[in-house]
Amino acid sequence: MSHHTTPSKGFWTPANILTAVILAIGLVLTVKRFTMGIGSVTNLTDDNPWGIWIGFDLLCGVALAAGGYTTTAAVYLFGMKKYQSAIRPAITTAFLGYTFVVIALLYDLGRYYRLPYPLTIYPGPTSFLFEVGLCVALYLTVLAIEFSPALWEVLRWKRLRYYAHSLTLVLTIFGVVLSTLHQSSLGGLYLIAPSKLHPLWYSPYLTMFFFVSSIPAGLSMVIFEGGLSHKFLHHKMDDRHLAESSGVTLGFSKAAAVVLFAYFNLKWIGVALDHNWQHLATGWGAWFLVEMFGFVLVPCLMYAVAAREKNEKLAFWASILTILGIVINRLNISLIAFNWQLPAEARYLPSWEEIFITVFIITLEVTVLRICLSKLPILHEHPEFKGAH
């Protein structure tokens, strides 16, 4: 059985109407941004040159797209074939995630035609931004090739599908290396701002913290999206995906619990090495404790209990809490605890246009993801290529 069928609903459902409204307003704001300049839609200043488009769209987007390299590494490098069914959903999410991270970055850059300049005309190999840009560009290419077999199967281009699939192991190794580099380098971007970032979030070990935290972020996204797919796209899943979904959720829960516990301890080692204990008695310290205990330790324990008790629902809620924790951590570093010493009136608050453009990009990404899951063999095997993955 390739996948199950279900009666189709009308196109103009409440969700589709809301999506159409968001996309329409987002397109208007996009035209405004690229014709009237960045100042027409943002509250960015010289003191706050990076806003929500960098803090959320880039930093959070890249971390939450880490499911691609974590899942492929587990299956192809560590031989965990029981998670094979999670490969295509994870790669699809990662590919779209990185694609829309680049799209979001264009809003911040403005001169989109200069996007290749740092890699071609004005290279700066000693810059973290150069390394991030190069690795993201290369990894996006890797993800595109890894994603392509699903497209070639629909088009029945067997030769292209064969060539793309034959590169799986090489692409997996290359992708893990690139992900290690750019996930950590995103944290390195803030190493040059020790006087601007609050001491509880600033650390010489930011690069390590960013990389380690990206692992549970990616695992949690796989669990979260798997739960949603099982609920809303059950009819698109074949018997293999349905049978293996429980194992993926519980197996990834165990891994997420271990890495979250390691991350929790590494953060406290960082506080100790940087001698920042005195800051814990302040309001900023209370917020840091909320992040560490409420969004790291609590989901860690939830994942551990879920794996032991084989409780998929608890694992799903733990994934939501972990994803929120990653978002809070990245926003703390890039926005909330950044320029913490400035008076309130000088602090950055995003305009409604900035927020709406972010919502627009997320909505567009979810819409494309829905189309891919519905039209491509992502949650089921193509009848002509069964067992060929």
Q: Could you tell me if residue 24 is inside a domain?
A: no
The answer to whether residue 5 scores a pLDDT higher than 60 is: no
pLDDT value of position 1 = 42
Q: What's the whole-model pTM score?
A: 0.91
Query: Is residue 21 a part of any domain in this protein?
Result: no
Higher pLDDT, 117 or 88: 88
Q: What is the CATH number of the domain that holds 316?
A: 1.20.1630.10
Residues 329-356 pLDDT 10s: 999 999 999 989 988 888 889 999 999 9
**Residue 277 forms part of a structural domain:** yes
Q: Is residue 2 part of a domain?
A: no
Give 54-84 pLDDT, tens digit per residue. Answer: 999 999 999 999 999 999 999 999 989 999 9
- Condensed to tens digits (0 to 9), the pLDDT of residues 270-315 reads 999 999 999 999 999 999 999 999 999 999 999 999 999 999 999 9
End-to-end CA distance of the chain: 17
pLDDT band at 114 (very low <50, low <70, confident <90, very high): confident
Per-residue confidence band for 135, with pLDDT thresholds at 50, 70 and 90: confident
Q: What is the pLDDT of residue 345?
A: 81
pLDDT for 9 beyond 70: no
Report the chain's mean pLDDT, rounded to a whole number.
90
Confidence of residue 241 (pLDDT cuts 50, 70, 90): confident
Q: How confident is the model at residue 366 (pLDDT cuts 50, 70, 90)?
A: very high
- Cβ atoms < 10 Å from Cβ of 170: 11
Give the pLDDT confidence score for residue 115 in this predicted structure.
79
Q: What range defines the domain where residue 245 resides?
A: 30-385
Model confidence pLDDT, tens digit, residues 183-193: 999 999 999 88
> From CA 124, how far away is CA 212, in angstroms rounded?
26
* Residue 17 domain-assigned (yes or no): no
Domain count, the chain: 1
Query: What's the pLDDT at 266?
Result: 97
263 within domain boundaries = yes
pLDDT value of position 387: 61
Task: Please check whether residue 296 lies inside any domain of the structure.
Answer: yes
Residue 70 φ then ψ, to 5°? -70, -40
- How much is the pLDDT for 123? 76
Residue 4 has pLDDT above 70, yes or no: no
Give residue for tokens 């602090």.
347
**For 329, what's the count of Cα atoms within 13 Å in the CB-facing half-sphere?**
32
Q: Is residue 144 part of a domain?
A: yes
pLDDT at residue 2 above 70?
A: no
Can you give the pLDDT at residue 321? 98
Structure-model confidence comparison of residues 94 and 14, the more confident one: 94
